[in-house]
């Protein structure tokens, strides 16, 4: 159920499953070895010797053989339809594609294959993941190169950050993009033209749309994810599509993760918010990918000072990004959401965008009771640049944050895209995990899938191993941000979701890991030994030289969503 209680359904038949002979990650009993799930609820947690006496009354008994049971992950920023479509699109990301000729070759091969099944040429060839920064040529394909490679077929190739795309001439003609004032003949589209292109490509038959939803959510379940925050927007999906997604996932018995739904539509007053809620009553929030600015990769994130010059650019002025919303618009939206009793959510990446958001919070507080503003528990997505002033404002007005640690491992570092866009000193100050966590800002982790993969352990590892040692957080804090933090940010943690304790919904994942570990120092894990444990819950040991934990079962409300567990 999107936006509803975390316990989405009761099973029609009361069943119980005892998981025993393993390790259970729970603050209730750090030494627990078994857990009993009864009718979708955690009914007991304890030691293996006690579990032996409970085995007879359980409908199912699972021998974990040393496996780790944890709360299931929550991915707090996902584009479900796009994730499903990308699974069937041409992959232009590394390591599949490592240069410009390789991208053109991949598109040519896909166009040839599509010609066989769609000789009329009506179907759009979708591609995703290209990143000119990662290619030696440091540029996107030219329009004539794209047209030649794909034989005139309509093509939409979305950049890795999901904020810019390359379209073929035939696609531009079909959709009217070539008649737009923003069309410059290069094939690259951004802003409104990009939204128009994406909306045209997402005009799908209902069965095709359902298949994409299920593909994305089943992939999430196989990664130990029991819930996602869907960040729907007009250029990404329709209101009707979002309603269908809510229907598909309302009941755990459907075998899909829980969906908490957000819709990015700007509200100028309470009536706008209430009208949207009348049509989409399941919404947890209005916003999400409601963009204050763009992205660093596309040079559209709004910065206080310009980007570094771009090699081969048509102009020597690199610009400082774009603001799509000003403080007055942001304040009006937050006040509208507050008055309607729903959370507001905004996408802000650059420091100038955070300045605008901070100014908006001050404006909103001046126009309404600050307590009303705080009670809505508004949220910000991404927020790579948060200085002391912005942090103080977030704390004062009770704003939470949905962040994507995998951005740092994907584009950070001295040779990464962030350094190329910003220069070393500015890039080194991105993603201040420790500052945010230490100040007490409510945090939830996500992937922004398909921008980065559905891989929650990658996010935990990124937060633990931030390039700046001062911004590393503990593995326990990172894990909580990616589990309980997601329920909390959506206002659903009152049920106990996100922790394994008696009476809580049975949202859990089972993992095979080479080593279990305890926190040995801030930002670091060490291999566990009984003498060093000191009552701490265990987590998988994480590191570049350690195999990633393998998910072998994912459970929502006691319903198995994914299963590769013998026993």
Is the model's pLDDT at 296 over the cut of 50?
yes
- Dihedral, 199, 244, 208, 404 alpha carbons, nearest 10: 60
pLDDT confidence tier of residue 316, bands split at 50, 70 and 90:
low
Question: Which stretches of 396-507 are assigned E, i.e. beta strand?
Answer: 400-403, 443-445
- For residue 2, the model assigns a pLDDT of 43
Domain-embedded: residue 48: yes
* Cis bond before residue 95 (omega within 30° of 0): yes
8 A C-beta contact, residue 348 and residue 383: yes
User: How would you classify the pairing of strands 225-232 and 258-263?
Assistant: parallel
pLDDT number for residue 518 = 67
- Output the pLDDT for position 522: 47
Report yes or no: 86 and 165 within 8 Å, Cβ to Cβ.
Answer: no
| β-pair type (258-263, 285-291) | parallel
pLDDT tens digits along 70-129: 999 999 999 999 999 999 899 999 899 999 999 999 999 999 998 888 887 778 999 999
The range of the structural domain enclosing residue 64 comes to 16-72+498-513+549-563
155-159, strands of its sheet edge to edge: 90-91, 125-130, 155-159, 164-167, 188-190
Residue 5: per-residue pLDDT: 41
**Which ranges in 126-190 belong to alpha helices (H)?**
143-150, 169-175
Instruction: Output the average pLDDT for the chain.
Output: 91
Number of domains in the chain: 1
Confidence of residue 535 (pLDDT cuts 50, 70, 90): low
Q: Are strands 285-291 and 125-130 parallel, antiparallel or unpaired?
A: unpaired
Unique residue bearing structure tokens 């996107």: 140
Q: What length does the chain have?
A: 567
Q: pLDDT per residue over 448-490, tens digit each?
A: 999 999 999 999 999 999 988 999 999 999 999 999 999 999 9
Contacts of 271 (CB under 8 A, 6+ apart): none
Higher pLDDT residue, 311 or 65? Answer: 65
Going by pLDDT thresholds of 50, 70 and 90, the confidence category of residue 371 is confident
Q: What is the pLDDT of residue 519?
A: 54
- Whole-number Cα distances in Å, 419 to 36, 405, 412, 425, 521: 49, 16, 7, 8, 28
**Which CATH number characterizes residue 508's domain?**
2.30.40.10
Which single residue is written with the structure tokens 């073929």? 168
pLDDT of residue 313: 55
For residue 137, pLDDT over 50 is answered with: yes
Peptide bond into 447 cis (omega under 30): no
pLDDT > 60? residue 56: yes
| Alpha-helix runs per DSSP H in 12-119 | 48-54, 80-86, 100-117
- Say how far apart CA 395 and CA 393 lie, in whole Å: 5
Instruction: Name the pTM for this structure.
Output: 0.90
| Span of 117-131, 173-187, 413-427 with lowest mean pLDDT | 117-131
% the chain with pLDDT above 90: 76
- Burial pattern 366-403, b for ≥16 Cβ within 10 A else e, equals eeeeeeebeebbbbbbbbbbbeeebbebbeebbbbbbb
pLDDT for residue 75: 98
Task: Give the Cα separation of 95 and 88 in Å (integer).
Answer: 17
Min mean pLDDT across 383-392, 525-534, 538-547 is at 525-534
Q: How many CA atoms lie within 13 A of 242 on its CB side?
A: 30
Question: For residue 238, is it within any domain?
Answer: no
Average pLDDT (208-213) is 96
Q: What is the pLDDT of residue 116?
A: 84
Check residue 532 and give its pLDDT: 47
Check residue 530 and give its pLDDT.
Answer: 44
Q: Tell whether 29 is covered by a domain.
A: yes
CA torsion 287-293-297-303 (nearest 10°) is -140
Q: Which of 257, 252, 255, 259 is nearest to 280 (CA)?
A: 259
Residue 192 makes CB contacts below 8 A (sequence gap 6+) with 180, 182
Q: Is 60 exceeded by the pLDDT of residue 34?
A: yes
pLDDT band at residue 286 using 50, 70 and 90 as cut-offs = very high
Q: Give the number of other CB atoms < 10 A from CB of residue 199.
A: 16
User: Average of pLDDT values for 42-58?
Assistant: 93
Position 24 in a domain: yes
DSSP class of 36: E
Asked, for residue 324, whether it belongs to a domain, the answer is no
The answer to the question of residue 522 being in a domain is no
Integer Cα distance of 363 and 17 in angstroms: 53
Determine the Cα–Cα distance for residues 249 and 428; give it in Å rounded to an integer.
Answer: 40
Containing 518, the helix (H) or strand (E) segment is: strand 516-521
């Amino acid at each position: 159920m999107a936006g509803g209680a975390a316990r989405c359904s009761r099973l029609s038949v009361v069943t119980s499953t005892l998981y025993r002979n393993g390790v259970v990650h729970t603050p209730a009993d750090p030494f627990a070895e078994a857990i009993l799930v009864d009718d979708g609820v955690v009914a007991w947690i304890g030691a293996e010797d006690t579990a032996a006496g409970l085995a007879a009354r359980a409908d199912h008994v699972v021998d974990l053989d040393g496996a780790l049971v944890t709360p299931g992950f929550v991915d707090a920023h996902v584009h479900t339809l796009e994730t499903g479509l990308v699974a069937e699109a041409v992959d232009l990301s590394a390591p599949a594609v490592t240069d410009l000729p390789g991208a053109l070759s991949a598109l040519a091969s896909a166009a040839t294959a599509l010609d066989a099944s769609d000789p009329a040429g009506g179907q759009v060839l979708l591609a995703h993941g290209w990143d000119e920064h990662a290619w030696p040529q440091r540029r996107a394909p030219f329009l004539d190169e794209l047209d030649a490679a794909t034989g005139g077929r309509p093509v939409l190739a979305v950049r890795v950050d999901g904020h810019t795309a390359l379209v073929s001439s035939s696609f531009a003609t079909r959709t009217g993009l070539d008649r737009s004032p923003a069309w410059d003949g290069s094939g690259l589209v951004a802003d409104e033209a990009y939204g128009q292109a994406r909306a045209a490509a997402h005009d799908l038959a209902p069965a095709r749309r359902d298949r994409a939803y299920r593909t994305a959510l089943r992939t999430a379940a196989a990664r130990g994810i029991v819930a996602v925050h869907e960040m729907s927007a007009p250029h990404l999906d329709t209101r009707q599509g979002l309603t269908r997604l809510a229907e598909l996932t309302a009941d755990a018995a459907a075998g899909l993760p829980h969906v908490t739904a957000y819709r990015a539509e700007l509200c100028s007053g309470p009536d706008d918010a209430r009208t949207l809620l009348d049509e989409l009553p399941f919404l947890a929030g209005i916003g999400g990918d409601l963009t204050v600015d763009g992205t660093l990769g596309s040079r559209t994130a709004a910065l206080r000072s310009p980007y570094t010059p771009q090699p081969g650019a048509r102009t020597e002025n690199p610009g400082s990004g774009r603001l799509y919303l000003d403080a007055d618009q942001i304040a009006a939206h937050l006040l509208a959401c507050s008055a309607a009793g729903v959370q507001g959510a905004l996408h802000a990446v650059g420091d100038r965008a955070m300045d605008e958001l901070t100014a908006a919070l001050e404006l909103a507080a001046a126009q309404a009771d600050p307590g009303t503003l705080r009670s809505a528990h508004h949220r910000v997505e991404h927020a790579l640049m948060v200085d002391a002033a912005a942090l103080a404002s977030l704390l004062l007005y009770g704003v939470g944050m949905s962040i994507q640690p995998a951005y740092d491992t994907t584009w950070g570092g001295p040779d990464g895209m962030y350094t190329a866009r910003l220069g070393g000193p500015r890039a080194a100050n991105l993603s201040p995990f420790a500052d945010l966590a230490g100040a007490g800002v409510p945090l939830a982790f996500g992937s922004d899938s398909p921008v980065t993969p559905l891989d929650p352990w990658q996010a935990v590892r990124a937060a633990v191993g931030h390039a700046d040692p001062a911004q590393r957080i503990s593995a326990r804090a990172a894990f909580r941000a990616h589990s309980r933090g997601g329920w909390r940010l959506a206002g659903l943690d009152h049920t106990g979701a996100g922790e394994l304790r008696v009476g809580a919904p049975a949202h859990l994942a089972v993992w095979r890991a080479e080593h279990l570990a305890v926190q040995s120092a801030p930002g670091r894990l060490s291999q566990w030994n009984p003498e060093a444990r000191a009552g701490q819950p265990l987590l998988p040991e994480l590191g570049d030289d350690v195999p990633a934990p393998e998910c072998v079962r994912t459970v929502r409300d006691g319903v198995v969503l994914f299963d590769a567990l013998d026993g």
